[in-house]
Amino acid sequence: MAARDPHRFVNDLDEEALGRVVARLESRARDAVFAELFEKYVGRLALSGAVRVLEVGCGTGAMLRMLARQTGFSGLAWGVDQSSHFIAVANRLAQEENLGGCTVFEVGDAHELNFPQASFDVVIAHTLISHVANPAEVLREMARVVRPGGTVAVFDGDYSSLTYAYPDHVFGKHMDEALATATFNNPLIMRDLPRLLRECGLVLTEAWGDAVTEIGKGSYFKSFAETYVPYVKRSQMLPEEAVDQWLAYQRQAMAEHIFLASCNYYTYLTSPAR
């Protein structure tokens, strides 16, 4: 069976698989290393006053809740996702955190946003672009709905850099590649963005890269492996027994504090060319 990105085809997942992805999105947002990468670019956005923020592909709304919790945020944070299951979770969690008054979550397709031109001051795609069917179409939509002088922020990983240490280097490399292929529709898209952003009417204002690295203990990469290994197995890219051995090794390495995993992430801050 060919690899099928679970986030692209989220509406085909069963209840159990949806539960695993919801848990992953929520635990990832609480992960200190990952939260820091979000805060690093959110801190550069102009978010004071009655600002209107849109997150495209908001999932369970974990990042928008983090943004809305910021002291002094008095704007409106709007989240759109293709999954009605995620949107229901996003609404429930926002209510539970008393953020219902400054957040709106609704179902929608990133390729065809249901908003007029120039509706938002800030538009964010946080780990969305690696999953969508057509990244250029999504970027054009983001450029369309942001106001002149506003900001479009795109954050995601360059998944050819995804690396888990494994004593058998050859199999380890195959496993890294299989994880990237099984999980992401566009694993290398972030290296195309300097060209693609311009083609989609967005001018780069700032950009940088960060490596997320865990050595000894694993947290971010623990939940990554546990959530996405089932998709590697289902894709039949590698022998199932060898994949199970790989996961058992990673768990043992974490228990013994000899674990290592890493991946590069890029952030692009842009403005519409018009």
Ligand X SMILES: C[S@@+](CC[C@H](N)C(=O)[O-])C[C@H]1O[C@@H](n2cnc3c(N)ncnc32)[C@H](O)[C@@H]1O
CB of residue 88 to ligand X, shortest distance in Å = 12
CB of residue 249 to ligand X, shortest distance in Å = 26
Q: With respect to ligand X, which residue has the nearer C-beta, 30 or 274? A: 30
CB of residue 23 to ligand X, shortest distance in Å = 12
192's tokens: 């195309």
Q: How far apart are CA 124 and CA 54, in angstroms?
A: 6
CB of residue 57 to ligand X, shortest distance in Å = 3
CB of residue 241 to ligand X, shortest distance in Å = 29
Task: Count Cβ atoms within 10 A of the Cβ of residue 175 and give its class: 0-12 exposed, 13-18 middle, 19 or more buried.
Answer: buried
Q: With respect to ligand X, which residue has the nearer C-beta, 31 or 109? A: 109
CB of residue 34 to ligand X, shortest distance in Å = 9
- Using Cβ positions, the residue closest to ligand X within the complex turns out to be 59
Q: With respect to ligand X, which residue has the nearer C-beta, 91 or 253? A: 91
CB of residue 19 to ligand X, shortest distance in Å = 14
Q: With respect to ligand X, which residue has the nearer C-beta, 3 or 29? A: 29
Q: With respect to ligand X, which residue has the nearer C-beta, 57 or 272? A: 57
Residues making contact with ligand X (CB under 6 A): 7-8, 10, 25, 29, 57-59, 62-63, 81-83, 86, 109-111, 126-128, 131-132
Q: How far apart are CA 40 and CA 56, in angstroms?
A: 19
Using an 8 Å Cβ cutoff, are 182 and 243 in contact? no
Q: Which residues of 31-44 are buried (b: 16+ CB within 10 A; e: fewer)?
A: beebeebbeebbee
